[in-house]
Amino acid sequence: MSSLSDYPVEVQTEVKQLRETVAKLHAQLLRWNLVVWTAGNVSQRLRSADLMVIKPSGVRYEYLTPESMVVTDLQGNPIDGAESPSSDTASHAYIYRHMPEVHGIVHTHSTYATAWAATGRNIPCSLTMMGDEFGGQIPVGPFRLIGSEAIGEGVVQTLQQYPQSPAVLMRNHGPFTIGSDAEDAVKAAAMTEEVAHTVWAAEQLGDVIEISPEDIGRLNDRYRNVYGQH
């Protein structure tokens, strides 16, 4: 199918809803100081078709609207929208194709998380909130050039080794986070920057104390199965 009008009504309805959702979530990146100027992007995969909604390339956040969001297939080919999709579209599409449980992806260049990425260091699991949210350390992925699906391939390869983590720090580039939907991935991006900042601050005081794998497992289990409303 080459245009959105070729898809069933239920798909077009979901696209309309996700355009609104994804546009609003980009404002959350600004709110949590995760992006500057036009860097970074949010996408969400449809549940009714193999399509995704993603930010247009190089458009400032204050100009984003639901109508400016771009719809592509899971090969990254544009299906609907007046703008060109994000330069990271091929990588988002790769992740969605190879991780079918993922329905939301966020990429930022947030300051402290990107600083860890620039050093090529995993963020050690030295905070209970890391055990909760990430199930351990936040891993660094390989260096890959922008503009193809290579970054997405690196994200998938890294998460296969760290299946509990919703975040990867792509070396010399910045964090990618995944989630059950785009809001979930935005939350992971905000949490990634928070712990990156806190662990960096702790290292200025001395050696950080890592949490044992057994306690990390207990923390993560409680967070997933007990914490919050069920």
pLDDT at 226: 86
What average pLDDT score do residues 11-27 get?
98
pLDDT at 227: 76
pLDDT at 80: 97
Gap between the Cα atoms of 70 and 3, Å rounded: 12
Which residues 6+ apart lie within 8 Å of 191 measured at CB? 129, 133, 134, 167
Q: Roughly how many angstroms between the first and final C-alpha of the chain, as a whole number?
A: 40
What average pLDDT score do residues 84-88 get?
96
pLDDT at 1: 64
Q: Band of the pLDDT at 2, cuts 50, 70, 90?
A: confident
Tokens found for residue 109: 């260049």
What average pLDDT score do residues 127-143 get?
98
- Going from the C-alpha of 92 to that of each of 9, 86, 122, the distances in angstroms are 25, 10, 22
What confidence tens digit (pLDDT) does each residue in 164-223 have? 999 999 999 999 999 999 999 999 999 999 999 999 999 999 999 999 999 999 999 999
pLDDT at 229: 67
What confidence tens digit (pLDDT) does each residue in 66-80 have? 999 999 999 999 999
**HEC letters along the chain:** CCCHHHCCHHHHHHHHHHHHHHHHHHHHHHHCCCCCCCCCEEEEECCCCCEEEECECCCCHHHCCHHHCEEEECCCCEEECCCCECCCHHHHHHHHHHCCCCCEEEECCCHHHHHHHHHCCCECCCCHHHHHHHCCCECEECCCCCCCCHHHHHHHHHHHHCCCCCEEEECCCEEEEEECCHHHHHHHHHHHHHHHHHHHHHHHHCCCCCCCHHHHHHHHHHHHHCCCCC
What confidence tens digit (pLDDT) does each residue in 96-124 have? 999 999 999 999 999 999 999 999 999 99
Q: Is the dihedral of CA 63, 146, 70, 35 positive or negative?
A: negative
What confidence tens digit (pLDDT) does each residue in 45-61 have? 999 999 999 999 999 99
pLDDT at 180: 98
